[in-house]
Structure 1
Amino acid sequence: MTEIDVDELMENLAQCRRCGICRDAVYEDMGFDGICPVWKNTAGFETSFMRGKLMIAIALLEGRLEKTEDNAEALYSCSLCGNCTEICAAEFDPRKSLELVRAVLSDIPNEVRDGIAERILTTNNPYVTDKKGKRDWVAELGFEPPTKADTLYYFGCTAGMKLPETAKAAARLLKAAGIEFAVLEDEPCCGSVMIRTGRLHDAEENARKVLASIQESGAKTVLVSCA
């Protein structure tokens, strides 16, 4: 993984002008009121949207706040959807900056982050639910894709376990296009959530497992529905 330049990160965090547009900008003609979904669906404290999160991040990086579970909550109660980045008037990417902060402060205690990483590394599954049904959608296709081919459809945990209609639609589209494709028998989790939550070393370890599975399939092209 590329080393994170903390000085550059701090410079980016300092670009926040505290204007608050990342909280509740209103666009009536586009049909929505408010930018941050976390702020809209929680008690609405300052730390629930990006302006407050960045202030907490700066204080943690400067050592003015302790690395506690409560302070970690401000960093991790964000899905990194990127709405704030789209609306931000400053010349930096708040979403990406918060992701990097999580990596730099990866030693801050957070049970949810650590639990997800542990599940991925041990069971290839980021979810609490059993992954046995991850490949069940294949049986509903009406045809059985091979496990080795020049093209691999890497459907991912979310499509396989939460959105099987997405996986089936993608597979049928490939079939209709005349593309012979493979689906792995035991597909590992892509591990992207570990990158987004700052567990970069674990993500790198997991990436080796993903690479090995792709190489074993003989694929020259990989199509994905996951992150």
Structure 2
Amino acid sequence: MPEAARRRAARRVVADDAGGDRPLWCAASTHEGEEEIAAEAHRIAQKGTHRLLLILAPRHPERGPAIRDMLAAKGFAVRLRSEAGCPDEDCDVYVADTLGEMGLWYRLAPVSFVGGSLARIGGHNPYEPAALGSAILHGPHVHNFADIYARLDAAAAALKVEDAAGLGETVAELMQPSRSAPMAFAAWELSSSGADVTDKAIALILEHLPDPAA
């Protein structure tokens, strides 16, 4: 399937029942504690972006119901992907608690926060969002992929955030395509360059090895 067709199919997941083409961002591979940070950041970003939707894809999908309950207690309208629901017009957060669909969310989101980086996990592989056209945000704890993140940051393909306020403000800023599109292109260019092929392969292998801290 051509890339444009993949993106259209992906967008229908969240757009058809949502009443149109909603602005959205993704918090991917999040760990305990990072969902609360993403929720606070989303509330900040919502102030400047009407109908903004957060796709929250936890690292461990079985945590979906607990995450939904936590978010609902904070006043967010939440839907779970595992319950075959699509976000309606009132939905604030779509919890993508399923396996094997991360590529879909990265294709859909112009901006993605890659988790395990505000929690002291060491970060997760940024190559997939880079290759699929999403501008990348990450926290300070990326030692598992330090070299890759350093190159993304240096190429203006990714931005480091320190807390919920920084994440929310940066998401709000990057909702402007003129800001996110150059980052996404720089990330794609770096991820597809021949010099990074070996690093990409190693990163993908490491990402799928058992991780006691994950």
**What is the TM-score when the length of structure 2 is the normalising length?**
0.29
- Of Structure 1 and Structure 2, the greater strand share is in 2
**What is the TM-score when the length of structure 1 is the normalising length?**
0.28
